[in-house]
């Protein structure tokens, strides 16, 4: 395997591609022929295969597609998500309103009031700007049609 301080060689890239099953047709046959006559190349492919196995074992198992579909139709999941978002939005709006009300009616000096209101207004403006940007690019997002 290559040290981390240099770019991989062409043979290392081919060995990685072969181990990942990315070579097909003539390229795969040519690499298999080279590998049969080159022990170092065969060893390198074996190391990449072993690394792929270790990585696969370390990855958490993903739920099957039918589990995702069943979860999407589960009433408690749907209701819990909607209620959670509603309560979070209500709490954020209520807390913001309460802070503004208390700041306006407090004996605090003007500068801290202005700074606190600027912080609240700036955070709200950033939230709205981010939401607007996300909604504008949503039609172009290639992942909206991906299940999961």
Going from the first residue of the chain to its last (148 residues), give the mean pLDDT of each consecutive group of 10, the final group possibly shorter.
75 89 90 90 89 79 81 90 94 90 88 90 94 89 71
List of long-range contacts for 113-122, beta carbons under 8 Å, 24+ apart: 120/96
Which pLDDT belongs to residue 51?
86
Tell me how many domains the chain contains.
2
| DSSP-assigned letter for residue 20 | T
Q: Give this prediction's pTM.
A: 0.45
> Same domain, yes or no, for 111 and 132?
yes
Tokens representing 136 are 């504008």
The range of the structural domain enclosing residue 45 comes to 10-58
Residue 89 lies in a domain: yes
Residue 72 lies in a domain: yes
Burial class (CB in 10 A: 0-12, 13-18, 19+), 67: exposed
> Same domain, yes or no, for 113 and 77?
yes
Q: Show which of 58, 77, 96 is a domain's final residue.
A: 58
Which pLDDT belongs to residue 148?
57
State whether the Cα torsion 47-52-55-61 is positive or negative. Answer: negative
Residue 34 lies in a domain: yes
> Same domain, yes or no, for 98 and 45?
no
| DSSP-assigned letter for residue 7 | P
């Amino acid at each position: 395997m290559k040290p981390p301080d240099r770019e991989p060689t062409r043979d290392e890239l081919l060995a990685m591609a072969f181990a990942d099953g990315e070579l097909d047709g003539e390229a795969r046959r040519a690499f298999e022929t080279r590998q049969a006559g080159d022990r170092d190349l065969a060893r390198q492919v074996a190391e990449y295969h072993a690394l792929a196995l270790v990585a696969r074992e370390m990855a958490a198992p993903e739920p099957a597609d039918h589990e995702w579909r069943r979860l999407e139709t589960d009433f408690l999941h749907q209701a819990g998500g909607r209620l959670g978002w509603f309560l979070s939005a209500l709490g954020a709006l209520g807390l913001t309103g309460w802070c503004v009300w208390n700041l306006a009616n407090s004996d605090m000096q003007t500068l801290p009031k202005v700074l606190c209101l600027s912080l609240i207004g700036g955070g709200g403006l950033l939230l709205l700007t981010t939401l607007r940007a996300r909604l504008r690019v949503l039609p172009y997002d290639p992942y909206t049609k991906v299940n999961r």
